[in-house]
Structure 1
């Protein structure tokens, strides 16, 4: 897998909703596909990444005009698969960012338009229960596109006033690490390489910048968990476990960047996905 400066990609990644209407270069598309083919993760999963061509209109994203290229993240619809989608999808998004490509995690896409440009529902295409936006909520049969992202080049002049206000006042503000722990954790006593992982984790994007992840650390500092609080419900986003997977991805990339080895496992507990990192 190609070497990436993950910290820099995390720091410069922004959710973009205004794009130049021009295709990515063929060499860039080839590098993206090669990354998908060669991607290595520390756990088994069935997430699929499909790169597609979109129509230059607002049918797919509704809030903005689609650039010619995009990618979809497909998986089963249980809590663990959805959270794994966040992890795997974020690795792709960060790699794209490292190539100078603008992206935006997007879950409320128009399902009919995605099926038209990227057939993926198969035998489930004609179900009367298919939702209008995204795949809906709850578990369904087969794999679904949990989220998609545009892939393109940022166009500053097309950014709406609301997006500019959100950019300056909301989107990039993050809680300090010490506010994200459950239990009594003395942050100052964490080994620097573990703190580094938490610092990258807290910078993960989340729906409406909710930052709903919480961390636990065992007394011996050898077992760490990342999950959302039991019973957490987001006001607008049906699948907050995606965001937890994104956060877990950042944490793992931070550990590996510092040479820390760990076993990674993903389980469902009390209706939510929980990531465990057992440090060696």
Structure 2
């Protein structure tokens, strides 16, 4: 098992923190890493570290957090996918340092966070995350919340990855670790809206849309989930020494109602 797959398996959403601020070393490391993050769309995603007490920031689903990271992006095609990709890179790096995170999109006073992050009219700030050290024990509220969204369960590979046509399961043996990384990716309310169809060696990503996730204030939150899954896919391929490249070549296959083509990945 690769170190990356191990990291992805170990990463869990953290909603209960031990109230310690990040060490100066970890703070500096995360800020430097955030500035260097790039995504395949070359769309700038700006990260802003926010002191919770200084800005009066909180979320009813969290406890013990002292800091948040927000991110903002200019409104444009593929902004949400780029956002999810970039944010997940930061989340995984934080995990490698022992720092807990969780994507927060709705359970917060959005206007306070947007003001603190200085979000402009032409920008989106779909979500934020606390940054901190996990508490020794999850709060009862967190335990119940994880049960409610079935946080530790995922769809099976044959429900997510197809070959040539929709619903025809893809044999994933050659890239089994990479597809497992994608399968384990976090998503809003654990909906896992991504689907991948492989045709002639090109991997086409689709969004299985659910109602209520596409809003003016946040953009399409499920496209952020696609970006997170894409991040796992691209990083997994790069981990194997491959060179994945994003393009937009809709193969035009028949798909169910409510499914939308997003992008394609070719591998060399």
Q: Which moved more, 1:92-101 or 1:77-86?
A: 77-86
Runs (5+) with no aligned partner, structure 2: 216-220, 253-257
- Per the TM alignment, residue 25 of structure 1 is displaced from its structure 2 partner at its CA by 0.2
Q: Which residue of 1 aligns with 2:111?
A: 112
For each residue in 1:172-202, what CA deviation from the matched residue of structure 2 results, as whole angstroms up to 9, or x when unmatched?
A: 21122111134264533x4623x32211101
* Pairing of 1:111-190 with structure 2 (within 5 A): 111-116=110-115, 118-122=116-120, 141-157=121-137, 159-161=139-141, 163-167=142-146, 170-182=150-162, 183=165, 185=168, 187-188=170-171, 190=172
Q: Which residue of 1 aligns with 2:230?
A: 248
For each residue in 1:112-162, what CA deviation from the matched residue of structure 2 results, as whole angstroms up to 9, or x when unmatched?
A: 32245x24135xxxxxxxxxxxxxxxxxx411321100000112445125x
| Aligned equivalents of 1:31, 1:250: Cα separation in 2 | 21
Q: Which residue of 1 aligns with 2:80?
A: 82
- Per the TM alignment, residue 215 of structure 1 is displaced from its structure 2 partner at its CA by 0.7
| Aligned equivalents of 1:245, 1:266: Cα separation in 2 | 14
- Per the TM alignment, residue 267 of structure 1 is displaced from its structure 2 partner at its CA by 8.7
Instruction: Give the alignment partner of residue 214 of structure 1, picking from 179, 182, 195.
Output: 195
| Number of equivalenced pairs | 251
2:227 matched to 1:228? no
| Aligned equivalents of 1:105, 1:47: Cα separation in 2 | 16
- Per the TM alignment, residue 7 of structure 1 is displaced from its structure 2 partner at its CA by 2.0
Decide whether the 8 Å contact of 2:39 with 2:82 is kept in 1.
no
For each residue in 1:94-128, what CA deviation from the matched residue of structure 2 results, as whole angstroms up to 9, or x when unmatched?
A: 00011000100011221232245x24135xxxxxx
| Aligned equivalents of 1:58, 1:157: Cα separation in 2 | 25
- Per the TM alignment, residue 211 of structure 1 is displaced from its structure 2 partner at its CA by 1.2
TM-score (norm: length of structure 2): 0.82
| Aligned equivalents of 2:17, 2:227: Cα separation in 1 | 26
Taking structure 1 as reference, are residues 42 and 144 closer, same or farther at Cα in structure 2, changes over 3 Å only?
A: closer
Q: Which residue of 2 aligns with 1:15?
A: 13
Q: Which residue of 2 aligns with 1:67?
A: 65
Decide whether the 8 Å contact of 2:170 with 2:198 is kept in 1.
no
| Aligned equivalents of 1:66, 1:112: Cα separation in 2 | 21
Taking structure 1 as reference, are residues 273 and 92 closer, same or farther at Cα in structure 2, changes over 3 Å only?
A: farther
| Aligned equivalents of 2:75, 2:260: Cα separation in 1 | 12
RMSD, aligned α-carbons: 2.9
- Per the TM alignment, residue 46 of structure 1 is displaced from its structure 2 partner at its CA by 2.1
- Per the TM alignment, residue 273 of structure 1 is displaced from its structure 2 partner at its CA by 6.6
| Aligned equivalents of 1:149, 1:160: Cα separation in 2 | 20
Taking structure 1 as reference, are residues 59 and 32 closer, same or farther at Cα in structure 2, changes over 3 Å only?
A: closer
Decide whether the 8 Å contact of 1:267 with 1:273 is kept in 2.
no
Q: Which residue of 2 aligns with 1:96?
A: 94
- Per the TM alignment, residue 75 of structure 1 is displaced from its structure 2 partner at its CA by 1.1
Q: Which moved more, 1:244-253 or 1:57-66?
A: 57-66
Decide whether the 8 Å contact of 2:41 with 2:78 is kept in 1.
no
| Aligned equivalents of 1:203, 1:76: Cα separation in 2 | 28
TM-score (norm: length of structure 1): 0.79
